[in-house]
Amino acid sequence: MPAEIAVFGSLNMDLVVRVPRVPEAGETLHAHAFMTNPGGKGANQAVACARQGARVAMVGRVGSDAFGQALTASLEADAIETAHVATAPASTGVALIMVDDSGQNRISLIAGANAFVGAEDLARLADDLAAARMLLLQLEVPMDAVLQAATLAHAKGCRVVLNPAPAQALPESLWDLLDLLVLNETEAALLSGLAVDDIAGAARAAEALRRRGPAQVILTLGSEGVVACDAAGCRHFAALKVDAIDTTAAGDTFIGALCAALARGESMDAGIALGIQAAALCVTRAGAQASIPHRHELQALATAERPAAVTLR
C-alpha cells in the first residue's frame, strides 16, 4: 500500500546529556547520564504519524556512516518507507541536547547530510506525492528545498503542513502554499512580530498568521495547551497535567498524531485532542523517537482525558 503521508525533512542522531541544570559560562558540572537516540524533526514526525497507524514515506538524507544506518533502521522498525532516504557526502546530522531536571532542553544542531537535501530529493518526493494526501515539512533542511517541495505538493492537490522549526522567517511565496501551520510560541512570535505571552496573545498571533495564507493555524503552548484558528474563529484546548521529565520531540509527537488523525478522516478538533494526549505521554519519557507513544497506548486512556475545545472571543 502506498504511503498516505510523505515527510520531507531531517534525520539526526541526538546526543543527549542529562544535567541537573544548565552550566554557567566557564562552569563544569557533573551530568546524570548520556545517551544517543534517533531524532531529527522530520524523522520524529514520521515516527509519530506511523505510531498512530498512518502509512508514511520519509524523504531525506543521512551520511554513509553508522549513525545514518541506525537512523534508517529505526524508521524501518516503525514500518516507514525509507527507499527515498538517500546518502550525502557528509556525516549524518547530529543534535547536541542538554536536558535539565525540569525536563526543558537546549539543542545545538550540526546539519551534516540534512544540508544536502535538494533537487534529487525533490524528484524522489514527486514519486511519493503521487499517492500521498499530505506532505509534512519542517525547517531543518534548506529553505529552497522546502519551498519547492511545498510547490510540488500544492500543485498535486496534497495538503501541505509546515512546522516552521527551528524558527526563521519564511519566503513570501511559501505562505500561500500552506494548508496547515503548526508552531510553538517562539516561532509564532518571530513570524507574527506579536507577543505570545498568554492565550489571548497566542490567538492574536495565530489569527495574524492565518491571514497570511494557511487555512488553519495551530499554536502549541506547552503546559498552557493549544490554540487553533480557522475561518470560523479561534479555540483553546487545555493541556493534560503530567510530570514532564523530557520535553524533546513533544511538538513532533503532537504534529504526527494530529496528521495521522487527519489522514484517516478525523476532524481537526479530534486530531488536536489526540495530539495533546500523545504529547503528554511523550514528555513523561526520555528521548526523541524513544518517547513517542503508539496508538494502543492512547486508546487505553480514558476518553474523559481528551481535551475539549473552548471558543475564544
Q: Which is nearer to ligand RIB, 111 or 202 (CB)?
A: 111
Instruction: State the nearest-atom distance from the C-beta of 26 to ligand RIB, in Å.
Output: 26
Which residue stretches of the chain are H helix?
41-51, 66-77, 119-129, 143-155, 172-175, 185-192, 199-210, 250-263, 268-282, 295-299
C-alpha cell of residue 201: 496573545
Of 41 and 61, which CB lies nearer to ligand RIB in the complex structure? 41
Residue 158 or 189 having the CB closest to ligand RIB: 189
Closer of 106 and 211 to ligand RIB (Cβ)? 106
Q: Which residues of 217-241 are buried (b: 16+ CB within 10 A; e: fewer)?
A: bbbbbbebbbbbbbeeebbbbebbe
- Whether residue 252 lies in the annotated active site: yes
Q: Which is nearer to ligand RIB, 82 or 163 (CB)?
A: 163
Residue least distant from ligand RIB (Cβ):
39
Listing DSSP states for 54-65 in one string gives: --EEEEEEEESS
3-state secondary structure of 225: coil
Q: Least distance (Å) from ligand RIB to the CB of residue 176?
A: 26
State the nearest-atom distance from the C-beta of 155 to ligand RIB, in Å: 28
Nearest distance in Å: CB 242, ligand RIB: 18
The single residue of 121, 179, 252, 269 carrying the catalytic annotation is 252
Grid coordinates standing for 267?
Answer: 476532524
Rounded to the nearest whole angstrom, what is the least distance from the CB of residue 186 to ligand RIB in the complex? 12
Among candidate residues 85, 67, 140, the one with its CA nearest the CA of residue 108: 140
Q: At what angle do helices 250-263 and 268-282 cross, to 10 degrees?
A: 150
- DSSP state, residue 102: T
Q: How far apart are CA 263 and CA 5, in angstroms?
A: 7
Give the interface with ligand RIB as residue ranges (CB under 6 A). 12, 14, 39-41, 44, 95, 107, 140, 248-249, 251-252, 288
Catalytic residues: 252
